[in-house]
Chains A and B, each alone.
Chain A
Amino acid sequence: MNHLNEEAESKPQLKLEFEIKERDFSVAGEAASKVKKTLQQLGLMPEAVRNIAIIIYEAVMNVVIHATHGQLKVIIIPEQVTVLTEDEGIGISNVELAMKEGYSTAPLEIREMGFGAGMGLPNIKQCSHKLNVKSQVGVGTVLEAIVYLSSKDRKS
């Protein structure tokens, strides 16, 4: 599937990439923690760092729970942070419904672990300025979330 934001790719950037495997829950926390640390080192304010970490955790968790495998890319340019997950898997048949808080298709054993409560996409939406989800049933899903950065998001 095509990247939804080609423009961000052509500017000077910092790019972090992670492989995501089915049911590898630990990667969500690890990726989010690693990016969080990088953003803190870059001098971003806690609020922006918090939002980006939540987006990453939830987006990766969606791949872990629902897809067979995928990648996470985090692209950092001075104006914005783009979180991109691309996966191969069952896809989402109704993206609008999936955006609804509490709607979930996660299996019972996943829910018992406290995941799959139907809060992932709503959380991502709340934490990002722009969110695109493109999915094809039986093929996979591309999620792109953008957090714009202004001067008040940076420590002087």
Chain B
Amino acid sequence: MTLGEMVILLNFETLTGEVNLDKEVKSGYVSDLLSDVIANIEEGAVWITIQRHINILGVAKLKDIVAIIIPRKLELEQEVIERAKSEKIAILRDFRPAFEISGLIYNALKRG
């Protein structure tokens, strides 16, 4: 499933426009500890986190993360969004909590 298909299916808000919408999403990971993400996320994954500081982009770039998904409609600084666009990392947002988002993505990826 591409990120764009996922966005349409699950009605996520895209904060970075067209970035990575054509990319294939292979898996997902949920964690707010950066060491845990660095060690355990697979490449080509979406990452659900409430961390919103600029350093999440370094992690995303290093692990070839397709999109960062921010739950509960939490606010992000414009600087982070602009940097994400230039680094080609998508940032999505949703009103649901991380648990629900994970479940939805898990099922969507399982169905293919």
- A interface residues (Cβ-Cβ under 8 A, vs B): 25-26, 28-30, 32-33, 36, 46, 53-54, 57-58, 61, 113-115, 117, 119-120, 123, 126-127
Secondary structure class of chain B's binding surface, majority of residues: helix
Complex interface: chain B residues within 8 A of A120 (CB) = 35
**Additional A-B contacts beyond A33-B62, A53-B62 (15; CB < 8 A):** A26-B54, A26-B55, A29-B57, A29-B61, A58-B35, A58-B38, A113-B55, A114-B34, A114-B49, A114-B56, A115-B55, A119-B33, A119-B36, A119-B39, A123-B38
| B17 interfacial by beta-carbon distance below 8 Å | no
Complex interface: chain B residues within 8 A of A123 (CB) = 35, 38-39
* Docked-complex contact B62 and A29, CB < 8 angstroms: yes
Interface 1/0 per residue, B60-94 and A, CB below 8 Å: 01100000000000000000000000000000000
Complex interface: chain A residues within 8 A of B55 (CB) = 25-26, 29, 113, 115
- B interface residues (Cβ-Cβ under 8 A, vs A): 32-36, 38-39, 43, 49, 51, 53-59, 61-62
B48 CB to nearest chain A CB (Å): 13
In the docked arrangement, what's the CA distance between A115 and B55, Å? 10
Instruction: Kindly report which residue of chain A lies nearest to residue B55, judged by CB atoms.
Output: A25
* Docked-complex contact B58 and A26, CB < 8 angstroms: yes
